[in-house]
């Protein structure tokens, strides 16, 4: 590897991008998570990996969570919440999922780069995170990235999800030790 410090450059970029996050919207999502009967989560690609990690931490916090598409995903009920992570908000399978969820009455939260995307138009809560992507239609933040494709969005998604977990831990008085008691023991 050359002497260019890409790690510092990425961290600087993410730090600058944090100025675009609406923390009031994050608080709304935290409130919905805390009162949800069950939380369903979905995303595709690298955004899907990030939201899967978030589902894992919500389970560690003691919430009932399910990843859409898993064979053990139960039928939805009243007061359930669907959280979708989609940078573009246009991934065809996720748009279809959001429409179905809306039709059956689920509350929908979207983590995205595009407040005007197809999923955003039907979501109840929209968290807009900064990033750039060739799939992005509405570039309202005017940011640039040294990273390829949607990397900045995916990274800030991970950080945002962890920040939400920390906020919930603080609000419900949960500790890391208590969370660890829910950690998988069959690995």
The structure tokens listed for 183 are: 């950690």
**What φ, ψ does residue 66 adopt, rounded to 5°?**
-145, 140
Q: What is the distance between the alpha carbons of residues 55 and 39, in angstroms, rounded to a whole number?
A: 8
Q: Catalytic one among 78, 116, 154, 178?
A: 154
Q: Would you say residue 3 has pLDDT above 70?
A: no
Cα distance between residue 24 and residue 30, in whole Å: 10
Going by C-beta distance under 8 Å and a sequence separation of 6 or more, which residues neighbour residue 109? 29, 32, 81, 82, 83, 84, 123, 124, 125, 126, 127
Measured in degrees and rounded to the nearest 5, phi and psi for residue 41 equal -130, 145
Q: Is 78 a catalytic residue?
A: no
What's the pTM value of the predicted model, to 2 decimals?
A: 0.90
Q: Which fold has domain 17-170?
A: Rossmann fold (3.40.50)
pLDDT in tens, 92-133: 999 999 999 999 999 999 999 999 999 999 999 999 998 765
Q: What is the mean pLDDT of the chain?
A: 90
């Amino acid at each position: 590897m050359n002497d260019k410090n890409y790690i510092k450059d990425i961290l600087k970029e993410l730090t600058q991008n944090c100025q675009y996050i609406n923390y009031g919207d994050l608080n709304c999502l935290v409130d919905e998570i805390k009162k949800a009967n069950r939380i369903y989560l979905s995303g595709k690609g690298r955004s899907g990996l990030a939201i899967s990690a978030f589902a894992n931490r919500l389970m560690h916090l003691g919430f009932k969570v399910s990843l859409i598409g898993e064979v053990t995903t139960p039928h939805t009920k009243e007061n359930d919440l669907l959280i979708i992570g989609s940078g573009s908000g246009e991934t065809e399978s996720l748009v279809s999922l959001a429409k179905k969820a809306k039709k059956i009455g689920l509350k929908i939260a979207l983590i995205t780069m595009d407040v005007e995307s197809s999923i955003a138009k039907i979501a109840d809560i929209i968290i807009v995170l900064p990033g750039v992507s060739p799939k992005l239609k509405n570039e309202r933040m005017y940011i640039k990235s040294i990273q390829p494709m949607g990397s900045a969005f995916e990274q800030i998604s991970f950080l945002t999800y962890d920040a939400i977990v920390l906020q919930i831990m603080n609000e419900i008085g949960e500790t890391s030790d208590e969370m660890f008691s829910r950690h998988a023991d069959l690995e």
